[in-house]
Amino acid sequence: MLIAITRPVSPSIERCQLTHLAREAIDLSIARAQHRAYEDRLAELGCRVLRLPVEPDLPDSVFVEDTAIVLDELAVITRLGAASRRPETDAIARVLAACRELFHIEPPGTVDGGDILRVGRTLFAGLSSRSNETGIEQLRTHVSPFGYTLKPVEVRGCLHLKSAVTQVAQGTLLINREWVDGAAFGDAELIDVDPSEPFGANALLVADAVVYPRAHARTRKRLEGRDIAVEAVGMSELAKAEGGVTCCSLIVEI
């Protein structure tokens, strides 16, 4: 069974952390409607959605992916790169403790879950403004005994590694090579985003389908041209908070 852990859009999302985007007004009602539609799509794809309570004082709390790295045998509770976001992990840790052995990233390490891309037994770890070498080495220590290999990857020009590259099928990655070096991913087949859609590399693979932002129509056609089933969702408001489709859920197999 797949569990999708989500959290509603905070009423304070206008105060979200921003690194690479200029601040724009976020329509809270539209953001919430888009998020509910996203949850509905996950349910249609076979996930049981576990919706945590809203966090009015945590503007970025809808982006639950950043709070943990969930693997088959363990979960690592992160120490987020933005200090204001660190209280977000408390509720996530309580939920995950029921189904995984927990490990924690400790100071001075920082890791955001959006910087960790799992492909099989390999974890690609983005060195970004939110995840540092100390945190990534702690992550390596936690996961290595369980048979995972960790490979650090330099990230440039975007918030997280998964802003630049995500998995869209077995052995296939969607990538923006302006933000990450494609050679880092070895023999993986790479699908390039359309040059006009630099933010189009963030996609969420669930079962045999890819949940994908409706806004990136040209890149979507590239995916469909490879016979990848794409489930389009609206993400316009959360994108203003540097959010994407991977950010808004933690997918846990139990």
Ranges of beta strands (E only) in 116-192 are 116-119, 122-127, 149-154, 165-169, 172-175, 189-192
Cβ contacts of residue 248 below 8 Å, gap of 6+?
6, 35, 38, 62, 63, 64, 65, 238
With CA atoms as reference, report the closest residue to 4 among 52, 54, 67, 37: 52
With CA atoms as reference, report the closest residue to 64 among 74, 73, 72, 53: 53
Set 16, 47, 158, 247: catalytic member: 247
With CA atoms as reference, report the closest residue to 163 among 79, 85, 218, 241: 241
Set 35, 142, 160, 216: catalytic member: 160
Active site residue 142: no
Active site residue 160: yes
Q: Looking at residue 82, what DSSP letter applies?
A: S
Please state whether the peptide bond connecting residue 145 to the residue before it is cis, i.e. omega within 30 degrees of 0: no
How do beta strands 149-154 and 122-127 pair? Answer: parallel
Residues designated as active site: 160, 247
